[in-house]
Amino acid sequence: MKHKIKGDIISWNSSIWDFNYMMKSIKEDEDIDLSINSYGGDAFIGIDICNTLRDHKGYVTVTITGIAASAASVMCMGADKIRAYANTMMMVHNAQTFAYGDAKKLRKSADNVEKVSQAVLKSYTNRVDEEKMKNLLDEETYLTAEEALALGLIDEIIDGDPEEVESELYENKAKEFNNKLAPKQPEPSSNIDENTLKQMFAEFKNELTNELKPKEPIPEPAPKQQNLGTLFLNLGGK
């Protein structure tokens, strides 16, 4: 099975709906080739897909084609093999939430989100030491492909160009990531040696001198002399 998950990790994302639908009919030992390009979203959807991939008996390969951030990085952890293009990234952080209410409700929300962060942490510990991973989550860490490989979060770096990421939940961060993908215009070279500069100046000077030099008047062509014999012969014939 070959599939791609992109955009925000939310239940109404069509690529996630398609993934869940395909998993219902896939053979239990069929290999899965899953591409991921997402800035994240719902932590529990990420955990669910991670565990779905872990439980699958076939060989699962995940390829990061742009960025695997937040819940999208959690999904990757369910693969047997994680690959990433050389110029892609992974981002990991603790769970986040929106909260309102009195002090008691806010404290309860803080306690709850800490528990979700513990669940998120456990998603990575089959690859990275728990204490090291906790520090990465606490710091909201962006990792290049090389850094993720060194930590063991991915298994292989492949060549290629990353894709732009789509996101409504993390629109500003998505734009920031996409801007990094824009090709840089080469700066004009200013390495002109002294001899070349002198030659250019001399040619310019010659052109300027020729332009300013007074022009000789072009003589008008002398009028043709009429052959008088021919003229008289013509007159005599009339």
Q: Which CATH number goes with the domain that contains 134?
A: 3.90.226.10
Amino acid identity of residue 43, one-letter, is: A
* pLDDT of 221: 56
- Buried b vs exposed e over 61-85: b needs ≥16 C-beta within 10 Å? bbbbbbbbbbbbbbbbbbbeebbbb
Ordered per-residue pLDDT tens for the chain, 238 residues: 999 999 999 999 999 999 999 999 999 999 999 999 999 999 999 999 999 999 999 999 999 999 999 999 999 999 999 999 999 999 999 988 888 889 998 899 899 989 999 999 999 999 999 999 999 999 999 999 999 999 999 999 998 666 777 777 767 777 778 787 765 555 445 556 667 666 776 776 676 566 555 655 555 555 555 554 444 444 444 4
The single residue listed with the structure tokens 């959807």 is: 45
Residue 124 sits in which domain range? 2-181
User: Cα(180)–Cα(172) distance, rounded to whole angstroms?
Assistant: 13
What pLDDT does 20 receive? 95
Q: Note the pLDDT of residue 164.
A: 79
What's the CA gap between 237 and 17, in Å, rounded? Answer: 108
At 173 the pLDDT is 74
Evaluate whether residue 225 is within a structural domain: no
pLDDT of residue 166: 78
In a domain, 31, yes or no: yes
**CB 31 within 8 Å of CB 61:** yes
Residue 203 lies in a domain: no
Integer angstrom CA distances of residue 148 from 12, 49, 193, 221: 30, 20, 45, 86
Instruction: Tell me whether residue 192 is in a domain.
Output: no
Whether 207 maps to a domain, the answer reads no
Number of domains in the chain: 1
Asked whether residue 168 is assigned to any structural domain, the reply reads yes
| pLDDT of 34 | 97
In a domain, 132, yes or no: yes
Tell me if 228 is assigned to some domain. no
Q: Answer whether 0.75 is exceeded by the pTM.
A: no
Predicted local confidence at residue 235, as pLDDT? 43
